[in-house]
Chains A and B, each alone.
Chain A
Amino acid sequence: MKLFQKNNRAAAALATVAMIGTPALAQDNDLKIGFAVSLTGYLAPYDTPTVEGAQIAIKELNENGGAAGQFAIEAMVRDVRSDTVQTSIVVQELIDAGADVIVLPCDDDPAIAGGLVAQDAGIPMFSTCATNASLTAAIGDFYFVNYVADIVQGATLAQFAREEGLSNAYLLVSPETTYTGNLPLYFGEVFETLGGSVVDTGTYSFGQQDFSAEVTQIASLNPQPDVIMTSAYEPDFPAFLRQLRAAGVTAAVYGSDGIDSPTTSGLGDVSEGVVFTNAGFPVEGTRLAAFFDAYAAHYDRPLSNSFAATGYDMMLVISEAIRVAGGTDGAALRDAIANTDGLEVSTGEISYLDRNRVPARSVSLNRITGGAITHVDTRVIASDLLPESK
C-alpha cells in the first residue's frame, strides 16, 4: 500500500513537472475557483444564492483586472445535487481541472467528503454556509468556515435574550444535523453562563409537520418558559410556530439564520416578535445595502437573505489573500487567508487571524415586526463568551 502511494506521488510529481514544462505561463495569471455546490436538492436554497453572490464579486473583480487586480478569475460551477459522494467526485474533477480554491456545499457531510479531497491536494477551501466550527478539525488546515459559526450565533442570541430580561428557556433540537442539534445547546450553555436557566429540551424530526404533541407539552410546562430557542427551519419552523401560538403559548421565540426566509415574515401574526440572527441586515446607506441593490440589478429580482452577501465576501477574502500571497500556491494562500485581519467586506469586517479558521464576523440580530424583518443590532461577540464547539 505504501509502495503504491509512493508510486502515485511519483506519478503526480512527474505530471506536475510535465505541466510546468509545457509553455503554460498564462496559467500563472489566472485564478480558478471550483464550486462543488448544490444547484439542486435540499441544499440548493442555500448554495445557489451564495454562488450568485460570488459571481457578482467575480464580475466586479474581473472588471478591475481580476483578483488582486491581476489574476483573472474563472468560476467553474458544478452541481453536486446535495449528494455527499457526488461532492467528493466533483471536487476531484475540479482539482484535475486546475482549481486553485474549492467551494463546498452548505452541509457538514458533503463538505467533509469533498473537503478531505481538497485537503489531500493542499488546496484552500470554504463551505458556502456550513456553520459547524468542528469541521476545521474534521477536514484539516486548508478548510475555512465562511458563514457565521453556530457557536457565534448561539452565543449572540443568548446574550441578547438575557439583555431582554428573559430567564427561562426551552430548547427544541433535532439531532439530524449538528446545526439543528447543537446550536440551541450552545445557546443554552451561554444562557446559563449569563444567569438564565433551561427548563426543558424537546426533540423533533425533520419534516414531521405535526408538532401537536410537543406543543401540548410546552403548554403544560411549569414554570412556563419565557423564551423558546430552536434552529429549526422550513418547513418545520413555520409549522412549529403556528401550532405553538395556536396552543396559546406566548413565550418569545428565538431562531437562527435558517429562518432568514420570506416565509417566516410571511406567516402573519404568529411570527410577530420572532428574533433571529443572520450574517447581515441591509441597513440603509451601508455597504450591504449597496450589495443588495447590486444583486437586484444583476439578477433582476430582489435578494431576500444574506447568503448571497457571504458568497460575495468570500471572494473578497480570496482576492485579498492572493494579493498577500502573490500567487495561487495552495499553502501560501492558506496562510494568507488565516492571517486576514479586519478586512472590509459587504457585511462588515471579517477576521480569521488567531480564530482557528473560524471567522470573527459581525452578526445581525433581527426581529420580525408587522410582517417585516427589522434590524435590532449588529455585533461581534467576544471570543471569551464562545462555547466549545461540539
Chain B
Amino acid sequence: MSELVAQQVLNALALGGVYALLGLGLAMVFSVLGMINFAHGELMTFTGYALIFLSATLGWPFFLAVFAAFAVAAASAALIERVAFRPVRGASLTTMLLTTFAISSILHVVFQNFISPRPIAVAIPDWLTSTAQFSGLRIGMLQCISLGVTVVALIGLTVFLRFSITGLAMRAAAQDFSITRLMGIPANRVIVTAFAISGLLAGLSGFLWVAQRGSVDPLMGFVPVLKAFIAVVLGGLGSLPGAVLGGFLLGFLEVLLRAMLPSELLPFRDAISLSIIITILVLRPNGLLGRAEAVR
C-alpha cells in the first residue's frame, strides 16, 4: 500500500513538474507585459513539428534535434513578440489578449493547412519510454527526465534571475515596468528576453508533452496552456515562484484525485479539483504567493 502511495507521489511530482514549466512560461511573459499569452501552447506544438522535421525529415540525431527544437521554440517566441506584440504594445489589455488569441488561431490554421490536420507520429527512442523497477517502485525514464528537466530549468532560471542584470530587471519589471526602464534597461531587451525564455520553457515542456503522447497535432497546445493558466492563477498572477508552486499543486491534485476517488465519483474529478482551486482562490484572492501590494 505504501508503495502505491509512493508511486502516486512520484507520478504527481513528474506531472506537476511539467505543469510548473508551462506555468513558468506563461508567468514570465505575464510578469513583464501583464498579459497571458494564449499562443503559448502553439509554441509547444511548433517544438513538436520542429522535432519531427529535424529528426525524421532531415535525419538529425535525436538529441541534436531535441536541442535544436528548443532553440527553435525560443527563437519563434522572440519572433512572435517582434512581429505581433510589439506593434500593439501599450494598447489596451483587451487588444493584447485578442492578439494572443489571433496568433493562436492563425497558427492552428497554418499547422492544419500547411502541415496536416491529422496527428503526426514522433519516433521516440525506446529507452526514453522505458521503466526501471526499484523495490516495488516503478520509475519511468520519461518521469525521471521530466523531473530532471524541471529541476535543471528551475535552478538555471533562478541563477539567471538572481545574478544577471537582465534577470534582475525582469524581476523588477514584474513589479514596476516603467521604473525598470528608469534603470536604463531597454524595455525591448527585457521583453524579448522574457519571450525567449518563455519560448524555451514551452520547448522543454513541449518536448516532454510530445514524448508522452507520441504525436503532434495542430490543436495539441490548447489543454496544456489551460492547465498552465490554472497553475499561474493558483500560484498568484505575476509571481514566478507562485507559478511553480501552482504547477506542482495542480499536478498533485489531479493525480491524487484520480488515484483516490471512488470510481462512481471519477467523472467529476475535474469539477472537484477546480472546486478545490476556487476555494483556495476565495480564501486567497491573489493566489498562493500573489502579492497584496500588487494592488497599488
Q: B259 and A216: CB pair below 8 A?
A: yes
B129 at the A/B interface (Cβ < 8 Å)?
yes
Q: A203 and B140: CB pair below 8 A?
A: no
Binds B, one of A16-24, A134-142, A235-243, A328-336: A235-243
Q: B121 and A263: CB pair below 8 A?
A: yes
A212 to B109, CA, bound (A): 32
Contacts of B269 in A (CB 8 A): 203, 205
Q: A242 and B215: CB pair below 8 A?
A: no
Contacts of A261 in B (CB 8 A): 118-119
A60 to B253, CA, bound (A): 56
Also in contact, A48 and B220, with CB within 8 A (given A205-B270, A216-B4, A216-B259): no
Q: B131 and A248: CB pair below 8 A?
A: yes
Closest Cβ of chain B to A259, distance in Å, is 11
Q: A45 and B266: CB pair below 8 A?
A: no
Contacting A at CB under 8 A, from B87-135, are 108-109, 112, 117-121, 123-124, 126, 129-131
Q: B222 and A207: CB pair below 8 A?
A: yes
Contacting A at CB under 8 A, from B112-168, are 112, 117-121, 123-124, 126, 129-131, 138, 140, 143
B275 at the A/B interface (Cβ < 8 Å)?
no
Q: B215 and A212: CB pair below 8 A?
A: no
Closest Cβ of chain A to B12, distance in Å, is 8
A293 at the A/B interface (Cβ < 8 Å)?
no
Size of the A side of the interface (Cβ < 8 Å), in residues, is: 43
A119 at the A/B interface (Cβ < 8 Å)?
no
Closest Cβ of chain B to A269, distance in Å, is 7
Contact bitstring A238-276, B, C-beta under 8 A = 1, else 0: 110011001110000000000001110011111000000
B223 at the A/B interface (Cβ < 8 Å)?
yes
B263 at the A/B interface (Cβ < 8 Å)?
yes
Contacts of A208 in B (CB 8 A): 223, 254
Contacting B at CB under 8 A, from A197-255, are 200-203, 205-210, 212-214, 216-217, 219-220, 234-235, 238-239, 242-243, 246-248
Closest Cβ of chain B to A68, distance in Å, is 33
Smallest Cβ-Cβ distance to B116: which chain A residue: A45
Q: A203 and B267: CB pair below 8 A?
A: yes
Q: B223 and A207: CB pair below 8 A?
A: yes
A308 to B92, CA, bound (A): 47
Q: Which of B121, B255, B258 is A266 in contact with, Cβ under 8 Å?
A: B121
Q: B263 and A212: CB pair below 8 A?
A: no
Binds A, one of B206-214, B233-241, B287-295: B206-214
A216 to B1, CA, bound (A): 12
Also in contact, A44 and B117, with CB within 8 A (given A212-B15, A217-B259): yes
A39 to B91, CA, bound (A): 34
B8 at the A/B interface (Cβ < 8 Å)?
yes
Contacts of B14 in A (CB 8 A): 210, 212
Also in contact, A238 and B263, with CB within 8 A (given A205-B270, A206-B223): no
B175 at the A/B interface (Cβ < 8 Å)?
no
Contacts of B254 in A (CB 8 A): 208, 210, 213
Main secondary structure of the interface of B (DSSP, over half): helix
Q: A40 and B108: CB pair below 8 A?
A: yes
Contact bitstring B196-234, A, C-beta under 8 A = 1, else 0: 000000000000010011110101101110000000000
Contacts of B119 in A (CB 8 A): 45, 234-235, 261, 263
Q: Which of A201, A217, A263 is B214 in contact with, Cβ under 8 Å?
A: A263
Q: A210 and B255: CB pair below 8 A?
A: yes
Q: A246 and B138: CB pair below 8 A?
A: yes
B7 at the A/B interface (Cβ < 8 Å)?
yes
Closest Cβ of chain A to B17, distance in Å, is 11
A390 to B131, CA, bound (A): 40
Q: Which of B4, B8, B126, B138 is A269 in contact with, Cβ under 8 Å?
A: B126
Contacting B at CB under 8 A, from A29-57, are 39-42, 44-45, 48
Contacts of A41 in B (CB 8 A): 219
Q: B213 and A216: CB pair below 8 A?
A: no
A175 at the A/B interface (Cβ < 8 Å)?
yes
Contact bitstring B1-16, A, C-beta under 8 A = 1, else 0: 0001001100100110
Contacts of A243 in B (CB 8 A): 140, 212
A214 to B109, CA, bound (A): 34
Q: Which of A48, A203, A304 is B117 in contact with, Cβ under 8 Å?
A: A48
Contacts of A216 in B (CB 8 A): 4, 7-8, 11, 259
Q: B123 and A209: CB pair below 8 A?
A: no
Closest Cβ of chain B to A281, distance in Å, is 18
Q: A213 and B263: CB pair below 8 A?
A: no
Closest Cβ of chain B to A182, distance in Å, is 13
Q: A246 and B130: CB pair below 8 A?
A: yes
Also in contact, A200 and B263, with CB within 8 A (given A238-B215, A239-B212): yes
Also in contact, A247 and B120, with CB within 8 A (given A213-B255, A213-B258, A270-B129): no
Also in contact, A234 and B215, with CB within 8 A (given A45-B118, A248-B131, A262-B121): yes
Q: A238 and B129: CB pair below 8 A?
A: no
Contacting B at CB under 8 A, from A360-376, are none
Q: Which of B15, B112, B129 is A44 in contact with, Cβ under 8 Å?
A: B112
Interface centre among A42, A207, A269 (most CB of B within 10 A): A207
A213 to B260, CA, bound (A): 9
Smallest Cβ-Cβ distance to A176: which chain B residue: B267
Closest Cβ of chain A to B226, distance in Å, is 9
Closest Cβ of chain A to B205, distance in Å, is 11
Contacts of B270 in A (CB 8 A): 205
Also in contact, A267 and B214, with CB within 8 A (given A207-B222, A234-B119): yes
Which 6 residue pairs across A and B have the least CB separation, nearest first?
Answer: A212-B11, A266-B121, A207-B223, A213-B258, A44-B117, A238-B214
Q: List 15 A-B contacts (CB under 8 A).
A: A41-B219, A45-B117, A45-B118, A210-B14, A210-B254, A213-B11, A213-B258, A220-B4, A239-B212, A242-B129, A242-B214, A247-B131, A247-B138, A263-B120, A270-B129
